[in-house]
Structure 1
């Protein structure tokens, strides 16, 4: 693993992840499990905030929405924060990231650190694109939380801006399948979260 990547060792994470790998789970159960896993990740991801500093929580649409409530609940009560959304998806043929939603305003100078929430890192393209967007926005430090990453995807994303980015990962799966999904992974997490696989 890249030196700016950290794999969570809490045995509770592995136990809960086993449930997420069950493809028969209904969307409500998938959302509940993702929230539970996010709470475990947050224990290792959240760092102290300097006095007067404000943090940005960046939700990668759409799957990152399922991580938001649990992550925010894990922050100390006194945390000064703002939540923003970035819309990025992977084009099915090229597997390249496409940005479709970005309403980041002029950056508040008190915001130095951003937490990025996205359940899966597959090829690393979407994660890398979000890091580049935030770097250009003027962020000093990024902590990226994901439940599962492929080995190659994590390496790719972690090398985009290694000196200022830290990845906190639940588990690293060994490979990608021919469609660019993490293998064994959990399937299309967005479809599973929102019940859209057949729509």
Structure 2
């Protein structure tokens, strides 16, 4: 097991026992596509709960009235401007869980990145971030961006997404994932240490020569969308 001391201080690996058991189930080659989808969702809920408890705060709002006529103080989140950024394709499996946790609907912006097979470096093929602004902007529109990416392998894709969002004007970035390789997680965490926190269910020590985690989860996108063997 990877010790937290091996990782940068902005990387957080959950020790929730239910999460560890679900991660063990997700690793199994015998898990069906339906089970993979459910486990990604459930793991994302737990990781998301832990991450958001540290990243947002409750802010008092004006009073309202209950059905019995009693007044109470309403509450909202701070920051109020939050965006979800799933990395295609596998990040789509985390969207519903994190959307469920948030009290109000938030924008969902998709980034398409793949690893070039030889260099294993990221190539961007899709980006629907609106109103591209510089990181020096004082606008509050891009206050907190949440990257959803189940697997951090070499870290190149995650680092590229972080850099893209920083240039877009995100004030702070959360990376929510299921599992990552030590070297890849460190690479992503060091892309913008002051502005990024990474939250994971587990960390593996090794990568294969093809850039896959060992033992890992296999290709999560293929497992979710039944495209294994393409």
TM over 0.5: yes
How far did residue 189 of structure 1 move?
1.1
Q: Point out where structure 1 has 5 or more consecutive residues left out of the alignment.
A: none
1:1-199 map, 5 Å: 1-46=7-52, 47-48=56-57, 49-50=77-78, 53-75=80-102, 77=103, 79=104, 81-106=106-131, 109-199=140-230
For residues 158 and 106 of structure 2, the distance between their equivalents in structure 1, rounded to whole angstroms, comes to 21
Structure 2: runs of 5+ lacking an equivalent: 1-6, 58-76, 133-138
Q: Greater CA radius of gyration, 1 or 2? A: 2
Contact 1:54 1:80 in 2 (8 A): no
Q: How many residues are matched?
A: 196
Q: For each residue in 1:7-65, what CA deviation from the matched residue of structure 2 results, as whole angstroms up to 9, or x when unmatched?
A: 111111100011101112221211111001101101111122326x3111111100000
CA RMSD of aligned residues (A): 1.3
Shift of 1:137: 0.3
Distance in 2 (CA, whole Å) between partners of 1:13 and 1:118 is 17
Runs of 4+ in 1 over 6 A off after TM superposition: none
Provide the rounded CA distance (Å) in 2 between the counterparts of 1:198 and 1:176: 20
Residues 54 and 82 of structure 1 are in contact (CA less than 8 Å); yes or no, is this contact kept in structure 2? Answer: no
TM-score (normalised: structure 2): 0.82
Counterpart CA distance in 2 for 1:162 and 1:28 is 36
TM-score, normalization by structure 1:
0.94
The answer for the alignment partner of 2:69 in structure 1 is none
In the aligned structure 1, how far is the partner of 2:151 from the partner of 2:82? 22
